[in-house]
Amino acid sequence: MDFEDLVNTPRKIRILSISVAFLIAFPVYFQIMPSLIDDDLMSGGSSGPSGKWTVSFSETPIIMEEHQVLGDGDTHDTYFDVTTELDIGYIELDVDCNDNDDPGPGFTDSADGSSDVSGAEGEFEDQEASGPCSGGDSGFTMRWDVTHNYTGQNITVENMSEGELRSLWNDGGFGEGTWAATITADINALPGPVGSIVDSDEEYDITWTAMTYELVLEPVVEVET
């Protein structure tokens, strides 16, 4: 077989070209690879070299706010539709209220809530919560971690690979969908007709937050002195 036989059809030319490309590429590949592979990778798996890292979170909150005035025993259904390309750290529902209708102390209104997480992707537990409308961060808050034990705090870790860190901090593809809750108003006022004139309702500030993030990993290079 001479060279003419190798190149007498387009198909043979293509095969020959690919073969030549591999002949060139493989020695280069094997020359470079050993320098990329360190002991940890050889013994531990395929997730990159272990080392010391600073782990931080570039956070972008998705927020939806509603304001509802409710009378005693009134209920309001609130819905929060979440879609994002980013990982979700947690979902939070915060209901604040400040009952300053009654003169003097006592007869404070309150807020009751119960969630419906059936429209959210993943296995989340429904919550019940309630709290007085005493101003500030009153009322109640519900929170669901979508990324396990998510805090958003910067930390430094040692002896971990990038792959291990990325498997610790991700939402597993969960948390999107519709989060819902029912809020019930509990209005308290002086008994009798005067009381209902003085205080018959309350304004509830409803805030849903989906805290999304990008994981930021930076290797720590320690300079020996």
Binding region for Ca ion (CB under 5 A): 99, 101-102, 107, 109, 188, 199, 202
CB of 142 within 8 A of CB of 181?
A: yes
Question: How far apart are CB 193 and Ca ion at their closest, in Å?
Answer: 15
Question: How far apart are CB 110 and Ca ion at their closest, in Å?
Answer: 9
Nearer to Ca ion, 40 or 205 (CB): 205
Nearer to Ca ion, 108 or 147 (CB): 108
Of the candidates 134, 102, 113, the one whose C-alpha atom is nearest the C-alpha of residue 201 is: 102
Question: How far apart are CB 191 and Ca ion at their closest, in Å?
Answer: 12
Nearer to Ca ion, 98 or 115 (CB): 98
Vertex 142 angle, CA 74 and 217, to 5°: 150
Nearer to Ca ion, 96 or 109 (CB): 109
List beta partners, residue 131: 111
Question: How far apart are CB 57 and Ca ion at their closest, in Å?
Answer: 39
Of the candidates 76, 33, 42, the one whose C-alpha atom is nearest the C-alpha of residue 186 is: 76
Nearer to Ca ion, 171 or 202 (CB): 202
Q: Is the dihedral of CA 64, 70, 73, 76 positive or negative?
A: negative
Question: How far apart are CB 158 and Ca ion at their closest, in Å?
Answer: 54
Instruction: Name the E strands within the chain.
Output: 50-71, 75-82, 87-96, 110-120, 128-132, 140-145, 155-161, 177-186, 201-219
